[in-house]
Each structure stands twice: as structure tokens, then as C-alpha cells.
């Protein structure tokens, strides 16, 4: 899954360009930088890859989401619909711009469902922040429809889904803005970094200004430029962008390997009647960073987890217990543990935060039955074969166990 598995000479060469000039800042310094514009080139490589008109890189995926929200005018008092299965960064970004996260149900796609979104829309809803979890898409056409019918904007946190597509259109291009992460664990990495994409020139300009203190970046003189709005420093540095550029040269290859490795594991699991694969509305557009499947119930899922451990299998997630990606274990959120006051409560939308998980019973059931296998790109044929054999064995063993009356 992570680009860090294929890391080396190309990344080194790109970074050396920056070391040669010492210009680590992404703007200006035209004379000293000897033609090296790593952030600009990185942005172009992402825009070209997904087919976006504009891309702007920032310091992380989290700041990309905050930048997209700000660029789209989402802020104080607005409600933003979010999924309970994501990385907490999605929720933090909403809070950070002063908006209120409102959780909606996911479905078997592991992403927000159109009905789930519809059920929580209120007059205060400004945006749906759709997350494409584990590298695959939601029911995109229906979700776009729900957003349009309710006059709510769609923004995509595609942090985990660079390279995923639905009917040929990439994650990140479906709403007003899309966001990608390039942190250490994502399909392509630059250490720390993020990118926002859009087809709207004004939104692009907004993102470019917001992430650099509101500077307009017009002309070449840092001292003379205007700052039409207030912003913050979410800039990416040239070193990080250089690494991201090297990784983007390899992303097609990464996805190809992932798809091949995923297919092998699908075959290994397919023989078990206990396995129900995640619903992917367009299978051909799966970036294949994970292979996710449901078991009939939580107890069986736990049996499978135990058996996978017993077989010495690594690189899998049982999200229901994992500390990071599901609302069940977000004690900091449900306990409203913030260092500073946050406008998380409004009178129009009183939410019982300590009990917020009970708002999404369908999601809870799905996650309790879900296991995801990571798909690595560095596995040898031998390792992959061994893994597949173990998976088949795990399911056989569990199948036998549960058909024996207790």
C-alpha cells in the first residue's frame, strides 16, 4: 500500500535538485532556484494524473481538507456531514474551520450512503465531506444527486483514494474540491504533504491564498504582493514536494501491482461462504490499497481475527478495535476533549457527543463485521502465495469451528 515501499533513487535525485540550490521555499527566488519549482511540478503531476484543471499542494492531508473547506467558504456555524468511519483528521479539519461535524451512516461501500446523507441534512448543512475509505469509491451518482437536490456542496476527502475512480472519473473530481494526503502511509508519500484539486479557478486561487497567509502571489516580488484575505501557513516545502513528484512518476505502477496482489487474495477468500466482499460500485476503479470483507456477525469476525493471528498473518485491520479510524474509539471526540473552546454545539443541532455512536447503528454493525487486508506492493510472488494459502486456511478453520454446535 504505501509508496514508502518503493523508495530510493528517484526520490534522492529530486531532493538533490533542492539541495543544490538551497531554495526550500516554494514561491519566488526565481534567480537562485535554477529552474527547479518542485511544488509547482508536483502539483502539475497530480493534476495531470487525475485530470483536474488545478492542483495546489499544502503541508498535509489534514491541512488540505481544512484549506478546501475554507476555500469553499465553509466555516463558523455551518454543519458538515461526515462519516463515522474515516481518519479523525476529517473531523478535526471541520472543527478547525469552526464548523460542526454531523455524522451520517455509511453503507456496504464503506463510504457515506446517499440515504444516510439525506437523513441528516438540515437547513444549516453547508457541505458533505465525503471520504472514500480504503481506496474505493462511494455511490457517486446518487450522492451527487442528493447534494444537488438539497443545494449542499460536495467536498471530497480523498486522502486515501488517490487513483480510485468511478466510471473513469477520479476521486477528488466529483465535488467542488478534492483533497489527497501524501503522508507516510498513503499510496504515494512525500513525508508530509497534501494536495487539493478543483476545476474552479477561483477556488484554486482561494486555496493558494489561504494556505499562505492570504497572499495573492501576483507578480514576483514577495514584498509587494497583496493579501486580500486572512489565511494561515499551510505551505508545503520544496523537499517534500520533490519527493511527492518522484512518487507520482510511479503511481500507475503502484496501482497495477496492488490490483494484481488484491486479485490473488480475492481468489483465496472466494471459496469461503462466510466472506462477503465490500461493495465497490465500479470494481475496475478500485485503487486496491485494501481488500475489505464482511463476516456474518461480530463474533465470527473476531474468530477470523484470532485465527489470522494464530496463522501468523500480519497487515490486516479489524477497524472496530483499532484506535484511529472508527468513532467507537475516538474518546477525545466523544469526550469533547479539546485544549481550547470549539464551537461544536449549536442550538439548532443539539448533539449528545458522549453518545454519538448510537446515531449511526448501521455503520456500527458494518464495522463490527469488517476486516481489511492491506495490499502491499513489495511482496514477492512467494510471499503473496504463502499469504493466500494462509487466508484460505483461516477461513476453512473458522468455517469448521462455527458449524460445530457449542
Ligand X SMILES: *Cc1c(COP(=O)(O)O)cnc(C)c1O
Chain residues in the site for ligand X (CB under 6 A): 60-62, 65, 86-87, 89-90, 131, 157, 159-160, 181, 183, 194
Q: Measured between alpha carbons, how far is residue 225 from residues 35, 105, 222 in Å?
A: 22, 45, 6
Nearer to ligand X, 188 or 272 (CB): 188
Alpha carbons 119 and 107: distance in angstroms, whole number: 13
Residues 219-256, buried b or exposed e (16+ Cβ, 10 A)?
eeeeeebeeeeebbebbbbbbbbbbbbbbbebbeebbe
CB 62 within 8 A of CB 97: no
Nearest-CB residue for ligand X: 61
Nearer to ligand X, 23 or 190 (CB): 190
Instruction: Supply the minimum distance, in Å, between the C-beta of residue 402 and ligand X.
Output: 33
Burial class of 150 by CB neighbour count within 10 A (0 to 12, 13 to 18, 19+): middle
Active site residues: 186
Nearer to ligand X, 60 or 247 (CB): 60
CA angle, 348 then 354 then 359, to 5°: 65
Nearer to ligand X, 82 or 295 (CB): 82
Alpha carbons 247 and 186: distance in angstroms, whole number: 11
Instruction: Supply the minimum distance, in Å, between the C-beta of residue 159 and ligand X.
Output: 3
Nearer to ligand X, 89 or 264 (CB): 89
CB 292 within 8 A of CB 320: no
Instruction: Supply the minimum distance, in Å, between the C-beta of residue 181 and ligand X.
Output: 3
Instruction: Supply the minimum distance, in Å, between the C-beta of residue 92 and ligand X.
Output: 9
258, 264, 265, 269: CA torsion to nearest 10: 150
Closest CA to 252 of 207, 168, 320, 188: 188
Q: What are phi and psi of 159, to 5 degrees?
A: -50, -35
Instruction: Supply the minimum distance, in Å, between the C-beta of residue 198 and ligand X.
Output: 17
CB 139 within 8 A of CB 117: no
Amino acid at each position: 500500500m504505501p509508496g514508502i515501499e518503493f523508495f530510493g533513487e528517484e526520490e534522492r535525485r529530486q531532493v538533490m535538485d533542492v539541495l543544490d540550490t538551497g531554495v526550500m521555499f516554494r514561491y519566488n527566488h526565481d534567480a537562485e532556484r535554477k529552474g527547479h519549482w518542485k511544488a509547482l511540478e508536483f502539483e502539475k503531476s497530480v493534476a495531470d494524473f487525475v485530470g483536474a484543471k488545478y492542483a495546489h499542494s499544502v503541508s498535509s492531508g489534514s491541512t488540505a481538507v481544512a484549506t478546501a473547506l475554507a476555500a469553499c467558504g465553509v466555516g463558523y456555524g455551518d454543519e458538515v456531514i461526515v462519516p463515522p468511519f474515516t481518519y479523525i483528521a476529517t473531523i478535526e479539519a471541520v472543527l478547525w474551520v469552526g464548523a460542526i461535524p454531523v455524522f451520517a451512516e455509511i453503507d456496504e461501500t464503506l463510504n457515506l450512503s446517499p440515504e444516510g446523507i439525506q437523513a441528516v441534512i438540515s437547513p444549516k448543512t453547508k457541505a458533505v465531506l465525503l471520504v472514500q475509505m480504503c481506496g474505493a469509491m462511494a455511490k457517486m451518482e446518487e450522492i451527487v444527486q442528493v447534494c444537488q437536490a438539497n443545494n449542499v456542496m460536495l467536498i471530497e476527502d480523498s486522502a486515501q483514494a488517490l487513483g480510485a475512480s468511478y466510471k473513469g472519473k477520479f476521486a477528488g473530481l466529483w465535488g467542488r474540491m478534492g483533497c489527497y494526503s501524501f503522508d507516510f502511509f498513503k499510496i504515494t508519500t512525500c513525508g508530509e504533504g497534501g494536495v487539493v484539486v478543483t476545476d474552479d479557478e477561483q477556488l484554486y486561487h482561494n486555496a493558494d491564498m489561504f494556505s499562505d497567509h492570504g497572499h495573492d502571489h501576483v507578480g514576483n516580488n514577495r514584498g509587494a504582493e497583496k493579501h486580500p484575505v486572512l489565511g494561515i501557513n499551510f505551505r508545503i516545502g520544496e523537499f517534500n514536494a520533490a519527493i511527492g513528484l518522484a512518487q507520482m512518476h510511479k503511481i500507475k505502477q503502484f496501482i497495477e501491482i496492488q490490483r494484481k496482489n488484491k486479485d490473488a487474495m480475492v481468489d483465496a477468500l472466494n471459496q469461503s461462504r462466510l466472506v462477503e466482499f465490500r461493495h465497490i460500485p465500479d470494481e475496475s476503479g478500485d485503487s486496491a490499497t485494501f481488500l475489505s470483507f464482511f463476516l456474518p456477525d461480530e463474533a465470527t469476525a473476531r474468530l477470523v481475527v484470532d485465527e489470522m493471528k494464530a496463522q501468523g498473518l500480519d497487515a490486516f485491520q479489524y477497524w472496530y478495535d483499532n484506535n484511529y479510524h472508527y468513532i467507537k474509539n475516538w474518546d477525545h471526540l466523544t469526550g469533547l476533549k479539546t485544549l481550547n473552546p470549539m464551537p461544536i454545539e449549536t442550538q439548532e443541532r443539539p448533539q449528545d457527543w458522549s453518545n454519538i455512536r448510537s446515531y449511526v447503528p448501521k455503520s456500527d454493525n458494518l464495522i463490527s463485521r469488517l476486516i481489511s487486508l492491506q495490499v502491499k506492493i513489495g511482496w514477492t510472488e512467494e510471499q503473496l502465495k504463502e499469504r493466500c494459502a494462509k487466508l484460505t486456511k483461516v477461513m476453512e478453520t473458522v468455517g469448521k469451528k462455527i458449524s460445530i454446535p457449542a
